[in-house]
Amino acid sequence: MKNKKKTKNKNNIISFPTSVSKLERQVEAILFAASEPLDLETIEKRVQTNTNIKKILDKIKDSYKTRGVNLVCLKNKWSFRTAEDLSKLMSLQKSTQKKLSKATIETLAIIVYHQPVTRSEIEEIRGVSFATNTLEILLELDWVRPSGRKDVPGKPIQYVTTENFLNHFNVQKLSDLPTIDELGSAGLIDISAVDKSIFGTGKFFKEQSINSKENFYEEIEEAINKAPQPDKPTETDK
Both 116 and 138 in one domain: the answer is yes
53 lies in the same domain as 121: no
- Per-residue pLDDT at 96 exceeds 60: yes
In a domain, residue 48? The reply is yes
Q: Does residue 214 sit within a domain? A: yes
Do 169 and 122 belong to one domain? yes
Q: How far apart are the first and last CA of the chain?
A: 132
Please tell me whether residues 104 and 140 are part of one structural domain. yes
Q: Residue 156, preceding bond cis, omega within 30 degrees?
A: no
pLDDT at 2: 47
- Domain assignment present for residue 136? The answer is yes
For 142, the 3-state DSSP assignment is: coil
201 falls within a domain: yes
Residue 64 is assigned to a structural domain of this protein = yes
Q: Number of structural domains, the chain?
A: 3
Residue 77 confidence (pLDDT) above 70: yes
- In this structure, the number of other CB atoms found within 10 A of the CB of residue 123 comes to 14
Give 79's pLDDT tier (boundaries 50, 70, 90).
very high
Residues near 31 by beta carbon (within 8 Å), at least 6 away in sequence: 38, 43, 60, 71, 78, 79, 80
Residues 6+ apart with CB under 8 A from 89: 82
Domain annotation covers residue 14 = no
User: Are residues 75 and 109 both part of a single domain?
Assistant: no
Note whether 159 and 120 are same-domain residues: yes
The string of pLDDT tens digits covering residues 116-125 is 889 888 888 8
User: Residue 74: pLDDT band by 50, 70, 90 thresholds?
Assistant: confident
> What is the chain's mean pLDDT, rounded?
75
* 220-233 pLDDT, tens digit each: 455 555 555 555 55
The pair phi, psi for residue 170, each rounded to 5°, is 55, 50
For residue 216, the model assigns a pLDDT of: 44
At which of 139, 160, 177 does a domain end?
177
* Sign of torsion over alpha carbons 43, 79, 30, 28: negative
Is 9 within a domain?
Answer: no
pLDDT (tens digit per residue) in 141-193:
899 999 889 888 889 999 999 988 888 888 888 888 887 777 777 776 666 66
Q: Is the pLDDT of residue 7 over 80?
A: no
Residues 153 and 197 in one domain: no
Q: Which residue has the higher pLDDT, 169 or 238?
A: 169
Beta bridge partners of 157: 149
How confident is the model over 9-30, as a mean pLDDT? 71
* Chain centre to alpha carbon of residue 18: 46
Same domain, 169 and 199: no
Q: How far apart are CA 102 and CA 106, in angstroms?
A: 6
Instruction: Kindly state whether residue 145 falls inside one of the protein's structural domains.
Output: yes
Q: What is the CATH number of the domain that holds 51?
A: 1.10.10.10
Report whether pLDDT(19) > 80: no
137, 200: one domain: no
Residue-range definition of the domain harbouring residue 142 = 99-177
